[in-house]
Chains A and B, each alone.
Chain A
Amino acid sequence: MILVFLKACIRVDNPEKITTSKQNTAQTPECALPKAELFKNITIDGVDYRQSQTNVGKYGGEINTSSVGEGPKTFNPWNSKDATSSMFGDLLFDGLISTDAYTGKEVPLLAKSFEISPDGKVYTIHLRHGVKWSDGQPITADDVTYTWNTIIAKGYGNTSARDNVLIEGKMPEVTKVDDYTVKFILPKPFAPFLRQLSVSIAPKHIVKPITDKGTAAFASFWSSNTPPEQFVTSGKFRLKLYIPAQRVELVRNKNYYEIDQKGQKLPYLDKYVVYIVGDLNNEVLKFEAKEIDILSLQGNNIARMKELEKKSDFTLYNLGPDTGTTFVVFNMNNRKDKKGKYYVEPKKQKWFDDINFRSAVDYAIDRESLVYNILNGAGAPLFTAEALPSIYLNQKLKNGHNQDVKKAKEFLKKSGFYWDKKGQLHDKAGNLVEFTLLTNAGNTEREATGVMVKQDLEDLGMKVNFKPLEFNVLVGKVVDTLDWDMVLIGLTGSALEPHGGRNVWASNGGLHMFNQRKPDDSTHDIYPWEKQLDNLFEQGASVVGFDKRKAYYDKYQEIVYNEKPLIYLYSPLRVYAVRNKFENLCPTRLGGVTHNIEELYIKDAK
């Protein structure tokens, strides 16, 4: 099974039709298939190294990548609030565990090993002996307890790290057993906790004087204008230089604790350069000018790059669908605001609360042609609440159903809807079915999707007023004022941990958009299946072990599939163009292109 999974390294064959074309595995570029273990622990002279199991490479060369946007705001991983800053923070500071890029399982990184007690409450971490910070100080249990008990527990910097591990309002108890052993004791079993151990560990001897000064001092610590020499890090690369709005240069950490099979220290590459580019077009130009080595491709560029691939020095890698989901959602809120006014008009409430109505919409939408027309074929129809690459994806539901307008009409008839002579849809009480579909303006992909959804629904006789709104305004409506009918929007998910979706699915969640509850609502009624979802998320988090958890998350996807509070549409494919000069390259669905950056090498490096 795992080997089948590995065929993530599939090359794009026909961008017009690709979905998850497994038939092209023959063309998979040479890829070091993982043996039984990707990494081994090996002790040499009292140092617990992590040993790479791939081909032995040679030193030298550089990799040039890019980041679209404004560049990192800070290199302090405990204070980063945007994806770019987090990416750099994670690169500079290792966490205790990391994710196996092939299976998605949790594997030790800075930790040598870890154990979980059978009741799921006690996590014991064994640290590597002899591993050092970049200033030569050893990395010990004190660093771990300090990171957890001070930086995270006391809410320095970005508090979302704390939000993620609070269990019924309580932090896990973190104690040092000896210099190389740490125990985490949870108030009750909480399975998503394990992934949270990937939080970067801080050097106590450097950061403690800062946290002693308070949160303000910590917030400006290791910010983007700190001289690179002042960083004391543990990651594969060290910061060499940051030129705002131009690039970040990282160099090999010569003391990193990973070695190859010959005992040479990894990483092989001397330099890792990340250009800061302002927009996607410039990124494409930089790739064509050979200034960067990796390019993430969007729908309309895939076909063009596929053409260029033949006579150029790069290969396209199709990593399958993204974790981003695009969906439409109806406002099923039947409550009044504090002024006594309904959020949604009562006649519309009856439609949106009606499962037949929602099913009709679900069956009327032609996802295949959305993928074909809007993503230029580089995407996959989506039916489940978990994204397609998720290891918790409900395999039975992933293929969904075809568009079926006849069936959609039957659903409507069942609930007493009827069509007048002009073909317009009316409800049982004779009201014309007319509502507004909102989406965020400026995103051409989403606007085009809105137009196509509108057409599909108009085939059912519904009158849809499609209105793209400024993103901020739309979000305000969806989370605050709640005065909307139908919204087309997207969320990013996780391929590894479904518990992150709790905010959407739990009935008191902050993003429970289809039935958002406010503290001063008139009533607090709840659908039986909403209650079921609440329970499933509770239970899914409290058992340990993938299979047990998966049963709960399979069930939640089934409920969402049947009740259709969110009607999922599609996910785009992730396609990357990567120059051929790198050896040991094996992009995977879960790990992306650079998951094994330390193992990459350049054959003809000087």
Chain B
Amino acid sequence: MPIYLYSLKRILQAIPLLFIVSLISFFIIRLSPVDPLAELKLNPSISPQTLQAEKQRLGLDLPLWKQYLKWSVSFAKGDMGVSTTGEKVSDKLMERIPNTLLLTITTIIVTWIFGIPLGIYAALHWRKPIDRFLTMLTSAGMAIPSFFYALLLLIFAVKTGWFPVGGLTSIGFEGFSPLHKIFDITHHLFLPVLVLFTISIAGLQRQMRGNLLDVLETDYVKLARAKGLPENQVIYKHALRNAINPMVTLLGFEFASLLSGAALTEYVFQYPGLGRLILEAVIKSDINLVMASLMIGAIMLILGNLLADILLSLVDPRVTSVR
């Protein structure tokens, strides 16, 4: 099946899935006893008329199924509605998405640049001290909770004054020279990226190492060695290409977590990304905002899987023919 037809099929399959996801999330949020107007109700200077007007504006006076219908119809049309404070949800998301992408993409690039070579290196030096040392480091990285680690680094930043405490830019940023701007952002990004890097490099490096070790054990590698191919050619031409396949799937998953994967770290570092926005929206039961972010998460996951499959079929022709 050609790739585009296959993609189309997958995308069509995703529609009922998204429908079910939206239905479940909408009703779970709405049925939970959270009232977006509770704070107003307890404010002595708000009149009942104002409360009623707010209720109508947010559509809270409609029956639940009507609220859902209203939301889903406008969502299907591409309109994500307004937040409880009256701002367009799409505007709010667009404000934050670039920041989150900056953080997550930087992290992915850095992780892959370091993770893959380290994995290969460890596999080639299997059971040597350097491999054991890397294993120890990555185990530590896997074990440490990101929240706690981020806090530690934040305290480090406060005590030393070497790094800013959260945020993304310094005062006067708009007047900086381009080079200064890049430096300023890097300065702010360093700690959050370090946290995410430590957490995710552990998995990546170990995966790469395991894959390569598996491949090095296979018969064709033994054959290649037996027929006297130079070791470099055995490893980089034959073994590595096969060992990299599972990593491509992993890249697809990385795509899925582009927008949501860093939420916790974002929160600790007060990073102006999506994570903080969504957390605040959930607390305030800002339904349109929460729904939009849940739907985007679901869509990213579906797209990520699709992307992984397509990439895989590109690097490994067997995948499509089997299917």
Q: Is A61 located at the chain interface by the 8 A CB criterion?
A: no
Q: Is the CB of A479 within 8 A of B41?
A: yes
Chain B CB count within 10 A is highest, among A70, A159, A511, for A70
Q: Is the CB of B49 within 8 A of A278?
A: no
Docked CA distance A503–B96 (Å): 39
Q: Is A73 located at the chain interface by the 8 A CB criterion?
A: yes
Q: Is B42 located at the chain interface by the 8 A CB criterion?
A: yes
Given the interface pairs A159-B50, A243-B272, the reply to whether A475 lies near B41 with Cβ below 8 Å is: yes
- For A511, the chain B residues whose CB sits under 8 A away are 42, 44
Q: Is A245 located at the chain interface by the 8 A CB criterion?
A: yes
Interface residues on A, range: 35 or more
Given the interface pairs A282-B270, A289-B165, A475-B41, the reply to whether A273 lies near B47 with Cβ below 8 Å is: no
Q: Is the CB of B280 within 8 A of A70?
A: yes
Q: Is B206 located at the chain interface by the 8 A CB criterion?
A: no
- For B276, the chain A residues whose CB sits under 8 A away are 245, 278
Q: Is A476 located at the chain interface by the 8 A CB criterion?
A: yes
B171's contact among A224, A273, A290, A510, by CB below 8 Å, is which? A273
Interface residues of A in 225-262 (CB under 8 A from B): 225, 241, 243-247, 249
- For B85, the chain A residues whose CB sits under 8 A away are 73-74, 81-82
Task: Kindly provide the distance from the CB of B190 to the nearest chain A CB, expressed in whole angstroms.
Answer: 15
Stretch at the interface among B32-40, B126-134, B212-220: B32-40
- For A60, the chain B residues whose CB sits under 8 A away are none
Q: Is the CB of B165 within 8 A of A160?
A: no
Task: Kindly provide the distance from the CB of A165 to the nearest chain B CB, expressed in whole angstroms.
Answer: 12
Q: Is B164 located at the chain interface by the 8 A CB criterion?
A: yes
Query: Hey, what's the 0/1 contact readout for B153-172 against A, CB within 8 Å counting as 1?
Result: 01101100100111111010
Q: Is the CB of B96 within 8 A of A244?
A: yes
Given the interface pairs A160-B46, A160-B47, A500-B44, the reply to whether A472 lies near B35 with Cβ below 8 Å is: yes
- For A223, the chain B residues whose CB sits under 8 A away are 86-87
- For A489, the chain B residues whose CB sits under 8 A away are 42
Interface residues of B in 22-59 (CB under 8 A from A): 33-35, 38-39, 41-42, 44-51, 53
Docked CA distance A223–B155 (Å): 35
Q: Is the CB of B95 within 8 A of A476?
A: no
- For B174, the chain A residues whose CB sits under 8 A away are 241
Task: Kindly provide the distance from the CB of A95 to the nearest chain B CB, expressed in whole angstroms.
Answer: 17
Given the interface pairs A246-B168, A286-B166, A472-B33, the reply to whether A73 lies near B86 with Cβ below 8 Å is: yes
Task: Kindly provide the distance from the CB of A262 to the nearest chain B CB, expressed in whole angstroms.
Answer: 29
B38's contact among A69, A159, A471, A502, by CB below 8 Å, is which? A471
Count contacts on B: residues with CB < 8 A to the other chain: 43
Q: Is B91 located at the chain interface by the 8 A CB criterion?
A: yes
Given the interface pairs A81-B85, A470-B33, the reply to whether A277 lies near B44 with Cβ below 8 Å is: no
Chain B CB count within 10 A is highest, among A219, A291, A491, A502, for A291
Task: Kindly provide the distance from the CB of A291 to the nearest chain B CB, expressed in whole angstroms.
Answer: 6
Q: Is the CB of A286 within 8 A of B165?
A: yes
Residue of A nearest to B171 (CB): A273
Q: Is A14 located at the chain interface by the 8 A CB criterion?
A: no
Q: Is A410 located at the chain interface by the 8 A CB criterion?
A: no
B272's contact among A73, A158, A244, A501, by CB below 8 Å, is which? A244
Q: Is the CB of B34 within 8 A of A470?
A: yes
Interface residues of B in 91-109 (CB under 8 A from A): 91, 95-96
Docked CA distance A504–B276 (Å): 35
Docked CA distance A273–B170 (Å): 11
Residue of B nearest to A478 (CB): B42
Given the interface pairs A164-B45, A511-B44, the reply to whether A159 lies near B53 with Cβ below 8 Å is: yes
Task: Kindly provide the distance from the CB of A185 to the nearest chain B CB, expressed in whole angstroms.
Answer: 23
A473's contact among B33, B91, B96, by CB below 8 Å, is which? B33
- For B285, the chain A residues whose CB sits under 8 A away are 472
Q: Is A275 located at the chain interface by the 8 A CB criterion?
A: yes
Task: Kindly provide the distance from the CB of A510 to the nearest chain B CB, expressed in whole angstroms.
Answer: 5
Residue of B nearest to A158 (CB): B50
Q: Is A404 located at the chain interface by the 8 A CB criterion?
A: no
Interface residues of A in 438-490 (CB under 8 A from B): 470-473, 475-476, 478-479, 489
Q: Is the CB of B50 within 8 A of A163?
A: yes
Interface residues of A in 61-92 (CB under 8 A from B): 62, 64, 69-70, 73-74, 81-82
Task: Kindly provide the distance from the CB of B148 to the nearest chain A CB, expressed in whole angstroms.
Answer: 14
Docked CA distance A144–B50 (Å): 24
Q: Is A345 located at the chain interface by the 8 A CB criterion?
A: no
Interface residues of A in 484-541 (CB under 8 A from B): 489, 491, 500-504, 510-511
Q: Is the CB of B272 within 8 A of A245?
A: yes
Chain A CB count within 10 A is highest, among B87, B171, B285, for B171
Q: Is B277 located at the chain interface by the 8 A CB criterion?
A: yes
Q: Is the CB of B45 within 8 A of A476?
A: no
Docked CA distance A500–B86 (Å): 26
Q: Is the CB of A277 within 8 A of B166?
A: yes
- For A475, the chain B residues whose CB sits under 8 A away are 35, 38-39, 41-42
Q: Is B149 located at the chain interface by the 8 A CB criterion?
A: no
B96's contact among A163, A245, A504, by CB below 8 Å, is which? A245
- For A313, the chain B residues whose CB sits under 8 A away are none
Given the interface pairs A159-B49, A244-B96, the reply to whether A503 lies near B44 with Cβ below 8 Å is: yes
Task: Kindly provide the distance from the CB of B191 to the nearest chain A CB, expressed in whole angstroms.
Answer: 12
Q: Is B267 located at the chain interface by the 8 A CB criterion?
A: yes
Interface residues of B in 173-214 (CB under 8 A from A): 174
- For B50, the chain A residues whose CB sits under 8 A away are 158-160, 163
Question: Known contacts A160-B45, A160-B46; can you find 9 more A-B pairs with CB under 8 A?
Answer: A163-B49, A245-B273, A249-B171, A286-B165, A472-B34, A475-B39, A479-B41, A489-B42, A503-B44
- List of 4 A-B pairs having minimum Cβ-Cβ separation, nearest first: A245-B272, A472-B38, A472-B35, A163-B47
